[in-house]
Amino acid sequence: MNVAIITARAGSKSIRNKNILPLRGKPLIAYPIEAARQASRVARTYISTDSPEIMAVARELGCEIIVRPDDLCGDHVNHGEVIKHAAEYADAREKGLENIVLLLGNTVMVDGGLIDKALAMLAERADLDSVMSVWEAADDHPLRALEIVEGQLLPYGDHQRQASTERQSYPKAYYYDQGVWAFRKECVQKREGPNPWWWMGKRSAPIIRTWVAGRDIHTPLDVRIAEWWLDNYPGVAEL
């Protein structure tokens, strides 16, 4: 048995009330909720939040509410601890819970098919602890990262590092794309996942998506990209 958990806190600093921002006639939080409810492999959808406004939208859309305790509210709380709390809450209420899909509350670029794909991978491969959607780096490859030290640009983290200008020569690098995490419920207790996603377990498999296909919303530019996505690819999570 599988459940979806969506995390969406109050108090966004980048865009006020971001998770209930109206996008093409719906609050932003409605998009991941609808994606979870479309997934045939998800039995129930939970929302972990400290926002009464988000709770109201979630209830209207048929979600179970997880009210965050005070020690898991605020700007500097480890997201993993929020996930662990929500996973334990759901596990205490769902008989036979096996896997959890974790979605962010501030993206429109997920759908039921993507969620079912991740859960199918867990069902088919007993060797896996988790699945996450990722994108492949190119110009933003970590070998091209810089930092500013005393006003000077230097290679990030290793000032002696040498890298070619031809990115095709780099080893492939991937980033979580803000789309979907799916993991076995016991992973939140083991804390063995790839840093910083310690709740994902030792063995995590990828779903590789087009870069923009998992972008979440933090800036006004992200809002415009989300609107463009909804206008051109409604209900689509992968190109």
pLDDT tens readout for residues 200-218: 999 999 999 988 788 899 9
- Tell me what pLDDT residue 71 has: 86
Q: Which residues is 67 bridged to in the sheet?
A: 49
Distance CA 92, CA 86 (A): 10
Q: Residue 135: its pLDDT value, please?
A: 93
Q: Which of 41, 85, 44, 80 is nearest to 62 (CA)?
A: 44
Q: Are 36 and 113 in contact (CB under 8 A)?
A: no
In this structure, the strands spanning 64-67 and 44-49 are parallel
Taking the C-alpha atoms of residue 209 and residue 175, their distance in angstroms, rounded to an integer, is: 10
pLDDT of residue 237: 82
d(CA 33, CA 61): 7
Q: Which pLDDT belongs to residue 239?
A: 66
**What pLDDT is stored for residue 238 in this prediction?**
75
Which pairs count as long-range contacts for 199-202, CB under 8 Å and 24+ apart, including other chains? 199/80, 199/83, 199/84, 199/87, 200/129, 200/130, 200/132, 201/128, 201/129, 201/130, 202/129
Q: pTM for the full model? A: 0.92
In the prediction, which pLDDT does 198 show?
Answer: 95
Determine the average pLDDT of the residues in 92-107: 96
Name the percent of the chain lying above pLDDT 90: 77
Q: How confident is the model at residue 165 (pLDDT cuts 50, 70, 90)?
A: confident
Q: What is the pLDDT of residue 94?
A: 95
| Tokens of residue 82, six digits | 């929020």
Decide if domain 2-137+172-232 falls under CATH 3.90.1150.10: no
pLDDT digits (tens, 9 = 90+) for 1-41: 999 999 998 877 678 788 999 999 999 999 999 999 999 99
Q: Which two tokens stand for residue 150?
A: 């005393």
Q: What is the pLDDT of residues 35-76, one digit of tens each?
A: 999 999 999 999 999 999 999 999 999 999 999 998 888 778
Q: Is the pLDDT score of 104 beyond 90?
A: yes
DSSP 35: H
Q: Which two three-digit tokens encode residue 147?
A: 């930092």
The encoded tokens of residue 233 equal 């690819």
Mind listing the pLDDT tens digit for each residue in 122-135? 999 999 999 999 99
Q: How confident is the model at residue 162 (pLDDT cuts 50, 70, 90)?
A: confident
Q: Kindly tell me if the per-residue pLDDT of 77 is higher than 90.
A: no
User: For residue 238, which amino acid is it?
Assistant: E
Domain boundaries of the chain, sorted by first residue? 2-137+172-232
Task: Please count the residues of the chain.
Answer: 239
* pLDDT of residue 115 exceeding 80: yes
- Mean pLDDT of the chain, nearest integer: 92
